[in-house]
């Protein structure tokens, strides 16, 4: 198989996988939309409990990580392997930073008794619990995707170090890049759904 054909095959395979991911996250966003249409006031109250500043910073962190990933791909293809290596490390560190901020947010929700279940804040409506159930389900699954993405970025760093990813064999970088950018897109959609309502 020639190089160009191989690159197209990798792209097609990744986009087929991402189409299933679109349906996966799309169904959750659809569930959010229907519940929000039914319980608008509770969802606005839930969104006001969010750390708006941290959510905004986290969105910026992910967007910058996507820039680093796109630049890493281009750098490696141009033969600037060392620069690509540094950009991949920056991508990974930004991803870790995102998860760190997310963990802090989860912790503050636990302290405020906003984790759905028996210890949920007393005197609040079940609809508010539904908002937080969707919040933890959707951002939790997103965080799980981030963790898998970080593993893939680490794999790329090792392969780049070993010299098995080269300017003429950079398809693994393209494949992981597609996944990373997709996960970024999911967060871009979650941000206005969870942090902006009611403000």
Footprint on this chain of another protein (rule: CB under 8 A): 8, 11-12, 15-16, 18-23, 26-27, 30, 34, 37, 44, 52, 56, 59-60, 63-64, 66-67, 69-71, 74-75, 77-81, 83, 163, 166-167, 174, 177-178, 181-182, 184-185, 188-189, 191-193, 196-199
CB nearer to another protein: give 118 or 199: 199
Distances (CA, A) of 43 to 58, 132, 149: 21, 9, 30
CB nearer to another protein: give 172 or 198: 198
| Separation of alpha carbons 113 and 120, rounded Å | 5
- Smallest separation, CB 157 to another protein (Å): 17
CB nearer to another protein: give 69 or 146: 69
The interaxial angle of helices 52-77 and 171-194, nearest 10 deg, is 160
CA dihedral 148, 154, 156, 159 (to 10 degrees): -140
- Smallest separation, CB 42 to another protein (Å): 15
| Separation of alpha carbons 107 and 109, rounded Å | 5
Taking the CA of residue 94 as centre, how many other CA atoms within 13 Å lie in the half-sphere pointing to its CB? 22
- Smallest separation, CB 181 to another protein (Å): 5
- Smallest separation, CB 88 to another protein (Å): 15
CB nearer to another protein: give 94 or 115: 94
| Separation of alpha carbons 173 and 82, rounded Å | 14
């Amino acid at each position: 198989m020639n190089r160009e054909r191989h690159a197209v095959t990798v792209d097609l395979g990744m986009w087929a996988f991402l189409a299933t991911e679109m349906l996966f996250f799309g169904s959750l966003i659809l569930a959010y939309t229907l519940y929000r249409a039914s319980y608008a006031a509770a969802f606005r109250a839930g969104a006001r409990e969010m750390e708006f500043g941290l959510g905004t910073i986290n969105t910026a962190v992910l967007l910058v990580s996507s820039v680093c990933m796109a630049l890493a791909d281009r750098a490696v293809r141009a033969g600037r392997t060392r620069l690509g290596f540094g950009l991949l490390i920056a991508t990974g560190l930004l991803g870790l930073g995102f998860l760190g901020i997310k963990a802090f947010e989860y912790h503050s929700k636990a302290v405020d008794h906003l984790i759905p279940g028996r210890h949920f804040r007393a005197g609040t409506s079940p609809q508010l619990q539904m908002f937080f159930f969707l919040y933890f389900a959707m951002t939790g699954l997103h965080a799980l995707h981030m963790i898998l993405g970080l593993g893939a970025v680490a794999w790329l760093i090792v392969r780049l170090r070993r010299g098995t990813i080269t300017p003429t064999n950079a398809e693994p970088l393209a494949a992981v890049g597609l996944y990373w950018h997709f996960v970024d897109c999911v967060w871009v959609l979650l941000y206005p759904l969870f942090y902006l309502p009611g403000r």
